[in-house]
Every structure is written in C-alpha cells, then in structure tokens.
Structure 1
Amino acid sequence: MRTAVLRVLGATALAVLAATAPAGAAEGGDADRDFTLQDPRITESSGLAASRAHPGIYWTHNDQDAPLIYGVDSRTGKTVATLTLKGVGTPRDMEAISVGPDGHVYVGDIGDNLDGTWDHVWIYRFPEPKELRDQTVRATQYDVRYADGARDAEALMVHPETGRVYIASKHKDGGGLYEGPARLSASRANVFRRIAEVPWVTDGAFSPDGERLVLRGYLLAEEYAWKDGRPVGEGTSAGAPFQGQAESVTYTRDGSALMFGSEGNHSRVIRVDRPGAAPAPGRTAPGGGAEPPGGGASGEPAGEGNATTGFLVLGLVAAAVIGGKRLLRRG
C-alpha cells in the first residue's frame, strides 16, 4: 500500500514538474551527464553512488526489494550489472548507498517507516565487483543502534579517507548527524552517536577528497565544509534541481559535479556542476564560462522562465509526499 501511494505521488510530481527539469544529454553521450534510469525494475531509486572502480557507472537500489543492487551506465541509463547480495536477511527499507575507500560498497537499510520504533537497523557491506555483469556477491551485515534511541534515517555516507560511516536522521525531533565507530563490527551492535544538528534530509554524500559533505532534502540541498570529523558552518546551496520525490545525491567520481536522483519509473538523474569546477564536456554557460549550478545541458541557467512554476508546485509536492508517508505510517 505504501509503495503504491508513493508511486502515485511521485508520478504526479514528475508530471507536474516535467517542464521545470533541465534537459539532459542524448543517450550514448558522455559519462556523468544527465540520464534516465531505463530499467523497469528500478521504481524507487532511493540511493545513488558513483563507482570507484568503473568510471561512469552509478550504483542504486529500490526502497523495499530483494537485496538487489543495480549498476547503471550514465552514458545510456541502462543497467549493466545486477548484484544479488548473499549472506544478509530480507531488507526492510534500504535508503542509501556509498562506496568506501576500502573498495567496498555500503548499503544503508536504515529507513524506519514506523517513525523510529525499530530498535536496530542494518548496514550491508560488500566488495565492489571488478567485472560489470549480473552476479551474486557475499555481503557482511552489521547491526546499527543509535545512542539516543531509535529513529528514521535515509542518508548514509562513508568518508573517502577515514572509512568511517555516518548517518543523517530525519526523525520527528529534527535531523541529526551520527558518527559510527572507527571500524564496524559484525559480532556486536554498532552504536552511532549524534555529533551535529543538520536539516531533515533524504540523502547525503562526501566529496571524493573528503573535504565537503552534501545533504539533500525534498526542497533543498546544502554543501558543508568538512574538518576534523565535523561539518563546518551553515552550509551553502548546492543548487538542487526541481524533482518529484527527491531521494538521492552523490558526487561524480572526479568531484566536479553533483548528481541528483529521484524515485519513480524511469526517473531522471540530473547533473549540477559545482561552482568553479570544470563543466562536463559540451556543457558551458553563455559566454564560455562554467555553467552556473543547476543549469541545464543546453547552458540555460536553472530557474529562468519556469522557476516561478517550479517553486509553486514544489511546495505542494513536498507536502503531499510527506503527508502521504505520515498517513501510511498511521494506517
């Protein structure tokens, strides 16, 4: 029931916002450009992570599914590898994915549709495959508990230098950033402790150099400087595009841009170049400079012409999605 209602909300949002989404690159173009998820099995893309081993490949997964991870080629939007996780239980609510410096992929089965009542959640860890093909991979399952009690969360980030795992919650008492132990243990519960207050978010990611942290929600995305294991300052806008059910974000492999994803059938992943970073090939702003954050593939800055429409409907969409989730939890 939950999935069906959210699909309707997501589909409605995507239809209403179609005119506000930046245009993407044609199929078969350069890697790390806008692309559409072509696989009909991917209906609730809740997490997104750039592969370290395979340039142009992004790992994603559904919310509630068998333990399946999909490798998608950003040049075509087509799935080039389906990974079946062995050694883990049935996922409850997979919400996030990240690639660590140890060559392993981390999946956060950390969502809590009962509004923070499960006494533990899980992280799955498996080696990133050397070959892109359908295969079964053995994963390790880690129990996770929070020092201040159960809560809902959708964002899991692995620091690219230290390998420490962080989770950002979206509990009813507001968002919090939680730090895991220096090393995860498969033999005992891993206690995550609150280290900072952050916005209520649906995903997050560290930059490849480990110096920045981006957190996104349904409406906005903020990028923070990262120093001494903590976010610094209030954060700056990351130029998130208008999307229906805004669920995921990751940096490109080279850190020059952010890739924003959403749920829904054939959902779109949209590239936003970081200020001062080199744009993707063929992606320039008028006058030859780097395209402003949120700009479309054609070089038109995001928001010109249809920003008003986008802002008006985006608030309604976010309210509908959040309200729908709360209603389903009570049902």
Structure 2
Amino acid sequence: MVRVLAAVVPAACLLFAVPAQAADEGTERLFTFKDPKITESSGLAVSPTHDGIYYTHNDSSAAPTFYAVDGKGRTRAAFQISGAEARDWEAMAATKDAATGRGVLWFADIGDNMDGAWPDISIYKVPEPRTIAGATLPATRYRFKYADGARNAEGIMVNPKTGRLYVVSKEFAGSVYAAPKKLRADRTNVLRKVAAAPLMATDAAYAPDGSSYVIRTYFSATLYQPSGKTISRLEMPELKQAESITYTRDGKALLTGSEGVKSPVYRVPLPEREGARPTPTPSATRSATAAPAAADTGGTSGLTLTNVLIWLAAAAIAVGGITFLARRTR
C-alpha cells in the first residue's frame, strides 16, 4: 500500500496542482490523415526543411515506415528505413543539423508495455529526405538502457540548441531522461533521470528555439522551461486517444494528434509570450518557519491533510480509468 501511495500521490499532484489554461479560441482542426495505411499515428513532427510537410508513423506491429503528409492530410510519400526494426515505435522528432542545414529525423522504438520486457530500447537517426518522393533511407541505430531500470516510454525530444536527446517515460510518476551528450552506436547508451514528468505522458517535443518543451498526456499538455521548471498546463482538444504533440516551425503553436483511421491533427495556439512566463512561486513574504518549497513537480509543497485526501480520491479515480485505458492501448 505504501508503494502504491508513493507512486500515486506525486502523480496526482502533477495532474491537479497546476490549473490548466483553456485552449485558445484559435484552436482548429488542421487536417485529417487521409491515408488508410495510417491507422495508429503515434509520432508527429514538422519538416524542418520542406514547407507544409508533416511526418508521422504508425505504432507497434508495423514496418519501419514513415509518411510525409501535406497540410490537407494527403500522403505525399512513404519512406522505408533500412536496418531498422519497428518493435514498438512510439514517438519521433525532427531537427536540423547546424553544420549542414540538412534535416534529421529521429524515430523512437521505446514502447515497453511490460516495463522491462526488453533488455534495451532503440532510437534511429535518419537523414531527412531531400525530395518528397518514396525512397529507402539509411539509419544509425542507437541503443539505450535506463540507469534506474527498464520502463515504458512514449515521448522523445531533442534540444535544438544543444542537440541533446531526451526520453520521457509513461508512468504514474514519470520522468524525463537525458541521453549522453555524445551518442555511441557501438555500445549501449545510458539514460539518466533529470526531471519529473506528468502522469502517463504520451509524447513530448522541444520548441524550435530551445526556449521551452512540452509534454503531452491523455488529459492535457504541460509547458516547461529547459531547466524542468513548470510554465503552465494547457487544455487540449478532445481526442479519441491523445498520442502525439509537436511545435509548429515558428514555435507559436502546438500540433497534437490521435491514433485511429482518419485521425485528426489539431493546431493549438500558444498564449502570447507563454514560454517566458513561469508558474508563480510562493510569496516572498512567506514565514521563514514554513516548510521549504518542494522540488519542481508543479508546486506541490505545503500539503495539508485535506489536500492529500482530495488528491488521493482524484488519483484513485484517475488510476482506475488510466489503467483500463492503458491496457487497451499500446
């Protein structure tokens, strides 16, 4: 019971401690995937070099294939990745090589519904196609393991300023894990925990300018400063199964999608200057004898018994629903 509470209380705090801002009135359905082969869109990225092109891939039990889609949801090309497996692809990211200006795509085979079924996970680095026409592309495979034991994950992101790769675990009390600064293809790389993540994270992405990152859950999206400090939590449009999130190329909005045949992708404008405004901290006039602020997990310091009971009740309901949902999803 103690172990259960230890996992549930932080998760409940992350979910309810930071009030969600309502989705902007400018939220719109950007497009719907038209291709019947796109049945479980799990990753989403905006092309860094081709205007009006979006990339996606299916979830597990699929070939190592990704799709280039235009702004009306029509598939422009399908690409195969050589030397890659697709055990449980859950996420992707797109960056630009600072030296060459060429786009780089990252595909994350990081799903592990048994939380330890696989001895390691893999992330593939693929050069972005120069032209949007079907082709087979080479990949560099990087293997990873977690410093604190295997776990399930569905989110990756790459800091465009540093080039560093991060994996976000999908748990009741999830975490952000940093990859080594220099990745090695000839040995297993170790992922180390660097920040907290919200309850049941399904995707993550870095802003194009590196000023913030976002983590998506089944319920909402949370914005963070690069340090891991919470900025705010945003409401998202209702989706059948919220799976993916990314920033638009200009960084002014988020794109979020769902699994399913003919699933939609929504554009959610970010509040003006959102990335520059942190979540309010406790007042400087707080008594010196009060408990110190907790580590940044959404402002959960100073809990009262009432707070705990409310969070436990809410978490119990959430855990039941999420467990049911998680067992039905990959």
TM over 0.5, yes or no? yes
User: Alignment partner of 2:124: what SS?
Assistant: strand
Structural mapping, 1:1-331, within 5 Å: 34-64=30-60, 65-74=62-71, 76-88=72-84, 90-102=85-97, 103-171=103-171, 174-200=173-199, 201-226=201-226, 230-232=227-229, 234-276=230-272, 322-326=323-327
Do the aligned partners of residues 50 and 185 (structure 1) sit closer, same or farther apart at CA in structure 2, a change above 3 Å counting? Answer: same
1:238 deviates by 2.7
Aligned mates of 1:24, 1:318 — CA distance in 2: 29
CA displacement, residues 79-121 of structure 1 (integer Å, 9 cap, x when unaligned): 1121100022x31110000012322100110010213332211
After TM superposition, the score normalised by the length of structure 2 is 0.73
Contact preservation (8 Å) 1:104, 1:127: yes
Letter in 1 for 2:236: A
1:199 deviates by 0.7
Do the aligned partners of residues 73 and 24 (structure 1) sit closer, same or farther apart at CA in structure 2, a change above 3 Å counting? Answer: farther
The unaligned stretches of length 5 or more in structure 2 are: 1-24, 98-102, 274-316
Letter in 1 for 2:244: S
1:326 deviates by 2.9
Aligned mates of 2:46, 2:328 — CA distance in 1: 34
User: Alignment partner of 2:225: what SS?
Assistant: strand
Contact preservation (8 Å) 2:26, 2:268: no
Q: CA RMSD in A?
A: 2.6
User: Alignment partner of 1:184: what SS?
Assistant: coil
Aligned mates of 1:40, 1:122 — CA distance in 2: 27
The unaligned stretches of length 5 or more in structure 1 are: 1-21, 26-32, 278-315
Contact preservation (8 Å) 2:26, 2:269: no
User: Alignment partner of 1:95: what SS?
Assistant: strand
1:55 deviates by 1.6
Aligned mates of 2:329, 2:46 — CA distance in 1: 32
After TM superposition, the score normalised by the length of structure 1 is 0.73
Do the aligned partners of residues 321 and 198 (structure 1) sit closer, same or farther apart at CA in structure 2, a change above 3 Å counting? Answer: closer
1:54 deviates by 0.7
Do the aligned partners of residues 192 and 36 (structure 1) sit closer, same or farther apart at CA in structure 2, a change above 3 Å counting? Answer: same
Do the aligned partners of residues 83 and 239 (structure 1) sit closer, same or farther apart at CA in structure 2, a change above 3 Å counting? Answer: same
Do the aligned partners of residues 67 and 169 (structure 1) sit closer, same or farther apart at CA in structure 2, a change above 3 Å counting? Answer: same
Aligned mates of 1:81, 1:322 — CA distance in 2: 36
Letter in 2 for 1:130: R
Give the paired residue count: 259
Do the aligned partners of residues 318 and 209 (structure 1) sit closer, same or farther apart at CA in structure 2, a change above 3 Å counting? Answer: farther
